[in-house]
Structure 1
Amino acid sequence: MYRQHIPELESAKTYGIIGIILQFIGVAADVFLHGLGFIISIVGLILLLLAIKSISDYYGNSKPFRYILYSIISSIVFGVISALFIILFLVPVILGISASSNPGSAAPALLSNIGLIFTVILLVILAVLIPIIFEYLAYNEISELTGIGDFHTAALLLLIGIILTVIVVGVLLLIVGIIMLIIGFSKLPDYAKPVVIDQPGAQDYNQGFNQ
């Protein structure tokens, strides 16, 4: 039976696996080599974007790529806002307490800015949680398009892992989720039946191919 080569999914498989590995290495390397680790992570992110874009293009569904873009954009936006709040508001408060000659002034100063502190904490939480929700939606959509359940499992593990990251089990879930993503990308087919969309007899053709 004739099989059609799928360059989009073949490249998605390669870019996806390498991209995820580089992102993982980049995060680990950032502990020791801050600049190099960041660069490695960015390269991995670009390759991952190319992989998801290839999958979206092949299946004619922009949702996976759109969701992953939303994830990146929301991460940057909330991260920048959180950093600005810390620099413009919290840092002067902390410096003022440090410079004060009265040790008893620390508690009142903190209490008077408790709302600001909770605002920053909320922004940091949103900067972590909202991007991972969009990432979950992206990989879950890929799972539905490709029929590869590992993407759905990985997305769920990453979401739960981020929520539970304050404890050891959360970190372990993140690592397992990353491994499942690699497995999911490795299962992308290099060959498949030609994509036939909204054409007369398409259903009969697909049924005949699968027999």
Structure 2
Amino acid sequence: MESLKNARTWGGIGAIFSLFYVTYLVGFVLKLFAVKNIAEATKKESIFKDYIWAALLNITASLILSWAFYDMWDKMADVIHDPEKVTELMSAFGTWSLVAVIIMIIGVWFMKKSYDAIARETGVGTFHTAALFYLIGAILALLMVGYFFILVGALLEIMAFFALPEELPGAVNEKPAPEPATEQTVEIESAEPSEEEPVKASEEPSEEAPED
């Protein structure tokens, strides 16, 4: 199946590119096309829809977290000599970080739904495992150990895409069925011969009296 073969290539390369900051956007787009092709091949639109929701929520979480970091870094020089303002700044950063993590957890949950469906349809269970590590990493994102789980999930994601088969399990190459030959009904007129029994005249032998 061509679309599933393309999904294996695009998804695998995209997952590798997603590991690096400078190529993350390219990797994200490639994975998006790969998941779309898988959804079309399996005829499961929910796979792509859940992945889109996951992408939008994770992008939102990343923007919030980036803004929180920038805001804290920008104001740190002004409040460094005031402990109270430093505490307020750190508290605000922690609040926005918590909001970002909650949004990221919801996004990863949508991604897990998408990857679980892919695992069921393609038979590649590594998608389920990768999504599970991503979810654990998102929950523990406020701790340093969370990024370890996310890294493991990213590596498993690469393995999962490259493990995709060219055809779906149980797929049968559909060949056009030959058209049934038209049956020609040959009508045979059976003529029953009429048997005519010849009328035989029963000749009775005449007895002649012998003459003396």
The aligned runs of 1:159-178 (5 Å cut-off) are: 159-165=135-141, 166-168=143-145, 170-178=146-154
Q: How many residues align?
A: 171
> Which letter maps to 1:97?
V
Alignment equivalent of 2:2, drawn from 4, 7, 18: 7
Deviation of residue 189 (structure 1)?
A: 1.9
Q: Give, in whole Å, the separation in 2 of the partners of 1:172 and 1:81.
A: 21
> Which letter maps to 2:2?
P
Q: Partner residue of 1:182?
A: 158
Which structure's CA Rg is the greater one? 2
Alignment equivalent of 1:106, drawn from 76, 80, 83: 83
> Is 2:55 aligned against 1:65?
no
> Which letter maps to 1:9?
L
Q: Partner residue of 2:134?
A: 158
Deviation of residue 171 (structure 1)?
A: 4.0
Deviation of residue 162 (structure 1)?
A: 3.2
Q: Partner residue of 1:17?
A: 12
The aligned runs of 1:80-95 (5 Å cut-off) are: 80-82=63-65, 94=76
| Alpha-carbon displacement from aligned partner over 1:118-162 (angstroms, at most 9, x marks no partner) | 432322323432322222222112112222211111111121133
Shift in alpha-carbon separation, 1:190–1:117, aligned structure 2, 3 A:
closer
Deviation of residue 175 (structure 1)?
A: 3.4
Alignment equivalent of 1:97, drawn from 70, 79, 93: 79
Q: Partner residue of 1:121?
A: 97
| Alpha-carbon displacement from aligned partner over 1:9-44 (angstroms, at most 9, x marks no partner) | 0001111111111111x23xxxxxxxxx1xx11111
Q: Percent identity?
A: 26
| Alpha-carbon displacement from aligned partner over 1:93-130 (angstroms, at most 9, x marks no partner) | 645424xxxx5x432x3566776444323223234323
Unaligned 5+ runs, structure 1: 1-5, 28-36, 197-211
Q: Give, in whole Å, the separation in 2 of the partners of 1:83 and 1:44.
A: 20
Alignment equivalent of 1:49, drawn from 16, 22, 32: 32
| Alpha-carbon displacement from aligned partner over 1:71-99 (angstroms, at most 9, x marks no partner) | 221123344345556767x678645424x
SS in 2 for 1:160: helix
Q: Partner residue of 1:76?
A: 59
SS in 2 for 1:69: helix
**RCO comparison, higher one (Cα < 8 Å, 6+):** 1
Q: Give, in whole Å, the separation in 2 of the partners of 1:143 and 1:163.
A: 22
- TM-score, with structure 2 as normaliser: 0.66
Q: Partner residue of 1:33?
A: none
Q: Give, in whole Å, the separation in 1 of the partners of 2:115 and 2:158.
A: 12
Shift in alpha-carbon separation, 1:183–1:82, aligned structure 2, 3 A:
closer
Q: Partner residue of 1:202?
A: none
Unaligned 5+ runs, structure 2: 175-212
> Which letter maps to 2:79?
I
> Which letter maps to 1:11?
N
